[in-house]
Structure 1
Amino acid sequence: MTAMPARPLSAAATPVAELDAADRRLINRLQDGLPLVDAPYAVVAAELGLSEGELLYRLERLLEAGVLSRFGPMYHAERLGGGLTLAALAVPEADFERVSEAVNAFPEVAHNYRREHRLNMWFVLATETPERIAEVIAEIEAATGLPVFDMPKQEEFHVRLHLPV
């Protein structure tokens, strides 16, 4: 499981969360994943000098506050028989919030990022079957009224993403 610090897509300024040193250590540590043991939270808590209960409380609080956008396993959709693609939209600034909410409402949207480019909204789609990619793209186009640019993977690279806090 990995923790992903939140990246708001709203054009409005987002207040900065108050994180103490333990929160920062926890977020940084969880981005490296959990150990595959019977009590992974207890192991990580001990590494950080916390009780398991305090670690779980902090994790829940960080998720509820939106400091973390997600906490869960990272699956390789294609190896599990699913589909995966990178997609983008050219969203008019006045519609950005509405389109962001519409896109993020799809459970197949794994990550969604704002970019300084003509194609200013980029997102990853992960589906149960490869055929579902085209269906979800059509559904997003219908929900947003905008064409989706599909950019399927041609070659795979492993890039370790770690966003230190």
Structure 2
Amino acid sequence: VALIFPGPDSVSVKDIAFHLQKYSRKGVCDTDDDCSKEPFLKKARVEPTEEKDLNERISSNVNEGIELKKIIFIDSTWNQTNKIITDERLQGLLQIELKTRKTCFWRHQKGKPDTYLSTIEAIYYFFVDYHQEILKENYKGQYDNLLFFFSFMYTLIKNAKCGTGKE
């Protein structure tokens, strides 16, 4: 389980696998220092012709069991997040901070920078980054449909503002 929220202990999407591995070992380790060490991979004795197949299996199994099963996004105004983030149920979760991007949200919150994303933008960008950084695949618009209603409302509101001369 990971919480998508910027903070002093947040990690980037790119570093999720490493930190999930560390978190998963914490329950088994005696101290945090023991948990920060990289695990040694056991390597069976093999003939040189079999080595390529073994390396492929090892690299595919390294991340096995180290995956996000749940992702939590806080859906509120940015002014409410400080209260929500202190909830005891969120303590101890891996926090992930997204790359800095400008919001396209039409209802900008006063006193907050334009890099504070709306919830749907955060969800969208998380999946795009996860797809590229963790799955190591080119992004070809697989998650664009998440922004369908966002885009629809953006266009509707922009056109309404233009019609009244408020833009």
**Higher-RCO chain (CA-CA 8 Å, sequence separation at least 6):** 2
Greater gyration radius: 2
TM-score (norm 1): 0.27
**Structure showing the higher strand proportion among its residues:** 1
